[in-house]
Homo-oligomer: A and B are copies of this chain.
Amino acid sequence: MAEQLVNVHDLVGRCPYATSQKLLAGKWSLLIMHELSEGPVRVRELERRLYPITQATLTRALRQMEDDGLVHREVYGTIPPKVEYSLTEVGAEFKAVLASLEKWGNQYIDYMKAAGRI
Protein backbone atom coordinates (compact mmCIF):
# COMPACT_ATOMS: atom_id res chain seq x y z
CA MET A 1 0.00 0.00 0.00
CA ALA A 2 1.53 3.26 -1.10
CA GLU A 3 1.31 6.14 1.35
CA GLN A 4 -1.47 8.56 0.45
CA LEU A 5 -0.42 12.21 0.41
CA VAL A 6 -3.38 14.46 1.07
CA ASN A 7 -3.40 17.81 -0.67
CA VAL A 8 -4.28 20.33 2.01
CA HIS A 9 -5.87 22.62 -0.55
CA ASP A 10 -8.53 20.02 -1.05
CA LEU A 11 -9.41 20.27 2.62
CA VAL A 12 -10.95 23.70 2.25
CA GLY A 13 -14.61 23.19 3.04
CA ARG A 14 -13.83 20.10 5.10
CA CYS A 15 -11.03 20.83 7.53
CA PRO A 16 -11.80 23.78 9.83
CA TYR A 17 -8.18 24.94 9.80
CA ALA A 18 -7.65 24.85 6.06
CA THR A 19 -10.98 26.58 5.64
CA SER A 20 -10.24 29.29 8.17
CA GLN A 21 -6.83 29.87 6.67
CA LYS A 22 -8.40 30.45 3.30
CA LEU A 23 -11.00 32.85 4.65
CA LEU A 24 -8.51 34.87 6.66
CA ALA A 25 -5.79 34.76 4.03
CA GLY A 26 -6.13 38.36 2.96
CA LYS A 27 -4.19 41.21 4.45
CA TRP A 28 -7.36 42.87 5.74
CA SER A 29 -10.05 40.28 6.44
CA LEU A 30 -9.21 39.75 10.08
CA LEU A 31 -9.16 43.49 10.76
CA ILE A 32 -12.43 43.96 8.92
CA MET A 33 -14.07 41.22 10.97
CA HIS A 34 -12.90 43.01 14.07
CA GLU A 35 -14.21 46.39 12.93
CA LEU A 36 -17.60 44.89 12.19
CA SER A 37 -17.76 42.88 15.39
CA GLU A 38 -19.57 45.56 17.34
CA GLY A 39 -22.20 46.39 14.77
CA PRO A 40 -22.81 47.71 11.25
CA VAL A 41 -20.31 50.20 9.88
CA ARG A 42 -20.50 52.46 6.84
CA VAL A 43 -17.93 52.10 4.10
CA ARG A 44 -16.38 55.53 4.62
CA GLU A 45 -15.98 54.83 8.31
CA LEU A 46 -14.31 51.49 7.60
CA GLU A 47 -11.94 53.26 5.29
CA ARG A 48 -10.93 55.62 8.08
CA ARG A 49 -10.47 52.93 10.66
CA LEU A 50 -8.45 50.77 8.33
CA TYR A 51 -6.25 53.56 7.05
CA PRO A 52 -4.20 53.35 4.84
CA ILE A 53 -6.37 50.80 3.03
CA THR A 54 -7.46 51.96 -0.39
CA GLN A 55 -11.05 52.11 -1.55
CA ALA A 56 -10.47 49.54 -4.25
CA THR A 57 -8.87 47.11 -1.86
CA LEU A 58 -11.57 47.55 0.75
CA THR A 59 -14.33 46.98 -1.79
CA ARG A 60 -12.62 43.90 -3.13
CA ALA A 61 -12.13 42.47 0.35
CA LEU A 62 -15.72 43.16 1.38
CA ARG A 63 -17.13 41.58 -1.77
CA GLN A 64 -15.00 38.52 -1.26
CA MET A 65 -16.17 38.25 2.34
CA GLU A 66 -19.74 38.70 1.19
CA ASP A 67 -19.29 35.82 -1.23
CA ASP A 68 -17.80 33.79 1.60
CA GLY A 69 -20.91 34.46 3.65
CA LEU A 70 -19.12 36.37 6.37
CA VAL A 71 -20.56 39.84 5.90
CA HIS A 72 -23.85 41.36 4.86
CA ARG A 73 -24.18 44.39 2.62
CA GLU A 74 -27.09 46.70 3.31
CA VAL A 75 -27.82 49.37 0.73
CA TYR A 76 -29.97 52.37 1.59
CA GLY A 77 -31.44 53.89 -1.53
CA THR A 78 -30.63 57.43 -0.56
CA ILE A 79 -28.77 60.33 -2.03
CA PRO A 80 -25.96 60.51 -1.22
CA PRO A 81 -25.66 56.73 -1.11
CA LYS A 82 -25.35 54.93 2.19
CA VAL A 83 -24.08 51.38 2.51
CA GLU A 84 -23.52 49.54 5.72
CA TYR A 85 -21.67 46.30 6.24
CA SER A 86 -22.35 43.96 9.11
CA LEU A 87 -21.55 40.42 10.16
CA THR A 88 -23.83 37.63 9.02
CA GLU A 89 -24.99 34.97 11.42
CA VAL A 90 -21.90 32.79 10.91
CA GLY A 91 -19.80 35.89 10.74
CA ALA A 92 -21.02 36.91 14.15
CA GLU A 93 -20.07 33.53 15.57
CA PHE A 94 -16.53 34.45 14.68
CA LYS A 95 -16.54 36.90 17.56
CA ALA A 96 -15.56 34.01 19.82
CA VAL A 97 -12.41 33.58 17.77
CA LEU A 98 -11.74 37.30 17.89
CA ALA A 99 -12.00 37.18 21.65
CA SER A 100 -9.44 34.43 22.05
CA LEU A 101 -7.25 36.06 19.46
CA GLU A 102 -7.35 39.34 21.36
CA LYS A 103 -6.40 37.59 24.54
CA TRP A 104 -3.55 35.72 22.93
CA GLY A 105 -2.38 38.73 20.95
CA ASN A 106 -2.00 40.69 24.14
CA GLN A 107 -0.19 37.82 25.82
CA TYR A 108 2.14 37.64 22.86
CA ILE A 109 2.87 41.36 22.90
CA ASP A 110 3.56 41.34 26.62
CA TYR A 111 5.74 38.29 26.32
CA MET A 112 7.82 39.69 23.49
CA LYS A 113 8.22 42.99 25.26
CA ALA A 114 9.34 41.28 28.43
CA ALA A 115 11.84 39.31 26.37
CA GLY A 116 13.09 42.53 24.83
CA ARG A 117 12.18 41.23 21.38
CA ILE A 118 9.84 44.08 20.65
Known: A5-B48, A100-B100. A111 touches B69 (CB 8 A): yes
Chain A's interface: helix, strand, loop or mixed, by majority?
A: helix
The total of chain A residues at the interface (CB under 8 A) is: 52
In the complex, what's the smallest C-beta–C-beta distance from A2 to chain B, in angstroms?
Answer: 13
Provide the bound-state CA to CA distance between A107 and B97, in Å: 12
**Residues in chain A within 8 A of chain B (CB atoms):** 3, 5-9, 13-21, 23-25, 27, 30-31, 34, 48-53, 69, 89-90, 93-94, 96-109, 111-112, 115, 117-118
Provide the bound-state CA to CA distance between A96 and B15, in Å: 18
A-B contact pairs, 18 of them (CB 8 A): A5-B51, A8-B53, A13-B109, A13-B118, A15-B105, A16-B101, A16-B106, A18-B31, A21-B30, A21-B31, A69-B117, A90-B107, A90-B108, A90-B112, A96-B104, A97-B100, A97-B101, A100-B100
